[in-house]
Amino acid sequence: MSAQSTARSTGPGAAMVLSACLSIQVGAAATAQLFDDLGSWGASALRLLLAAGLMLLAARPRIRAWDRLQWRCVIALGLALAGMNGFIYAAIQRIPLGTAVAIEFLGPLVLAACLSRRSRDLLWVALAFIGMALLGAESAVTAASLDPLGVVFGLLAGAFWALYILASAETGKQVPGLGGLSAAMIIAAVVVVPIGASGAVRVVEEPGLLLFALAAALLSSVLPYSLEIAALRRLPSDVFSVLLSLEPAIATVVGWVLLGQGAGVLSIAAVSLVVLASMGVTLGQGRPRADPEPSAA
């Protein structure tokens, strides 16, 4: 196949991946508009409920036919989704969107390095941690210091993202179609709702907030997942993963444009190092991708 025909075949797939990344971060920005009224956990609970309902209507899983192994996989996936969604929104409430997503990316990076047999992948992870050190340095020398709790929440979101990658891979093997994901999203909603219920019920007083929640559910779950599934049919896994590595950079731009979150020189350098490290790890081996709910979400 010629280079020109290859470009024609990969071009639409690349556009789909980049559109999915943009959709996820715009969805996160939409969810951020709910924080003042619902709190981060209330917003996360409401968004998960709506997303779970949409996925349930689309997939209609045949849960009665599942055996014990399939249920264990789905439950693990649901718990991973709950933690990944809840903690990334808790992080976004306290630190800039791009910074939160860059910190969250450490989870998949460390997992990829641990699963890899290439020693140089440890160097890429070290590069990413240097980027995080730059964020700490910027926080120390500027007035806009990073909220330590927000950083912790970002790290926890990254840990659950790594768990999601493992659980989603196993669920994909054991449960056909989208049934496993849709049931897992229901489980995630059941886990998060008790935590965010006190904030989520405030939507009754202001029904207009449902529009932001519905937009977040569509932009962060339904649309990007559909785009990524379609893109995977057109792109090699390594190209797919490298394109996804741009997500922290996209999150930084979305945070600047939609949320007015400026980024200093050190912040931009830190995000660039994380993107470079992610590309380095994924080139030649491909990296599984979680749904970013972050991602993202």
pLDDT at residue 290 in the model: 43
pLDDT at residue 182 in the model: 82
Per-residue pLDDT of the chain (297 residues; tens, 9 = 90+): 444 444 445 678 788 888 988 998 898 888 888 898 899 999 999 988 988 888 888 777 777 778 888 899 889 989 999 999 999 999 999 988 888 888 888 888 788 777 777 777 778 778 878 877 777 766 655 655 678 899 999 999 999 988 888 888 788 788 877 778 888 888 999 999 999 988 888 887 887 888 888 888 888 877 887 787 677 667 776 677 677 778 888 888 888 888 888 777 777 888 888 888 777 776 645 444 444 343 333
CA distance 216 to 218: 5
pLDDT at residue 102 in the model: 85
pLDDT at residue 289 in the model: 44
Secondary structure of 31-98 as H, E, C letters: HHCCHHHHHHHHHHHHHHHHHHHHHHHHHCCCHHHCCHHHHHHHHHHHHHHHHHHHHHHHHHCCCCHH
Apex 215 CA angle, 212 and 217, nearest 5: 110
pLDDT at residue 10 in the model: 66
pLDDT at residue 144 in the model: 57
pLDDT at residue 288 in the model: 44
pLDDT at residue 184 in the model: 87
> Do residues 244 and 15 touch, judged by C-beta distance below 8 A?
no
pLDDT at residue 157 in the model: 93
pLDDT at residue 83 in the model: 94
Closest among 190, 206, 186, 192 to 157, alpha carbons compared: 192
At what angle are helices 209-217 and 35-59 packed, to 10 degrees?
Answer: 50
The pTM for the full model equals 0.81
pLDDT at residue 65 in the model: 78
Q: Where are the alpha helices (DSSP H) in 142-264?
A: 148-174, 179-200, 209-217, 223-232, 237-244, 247-259
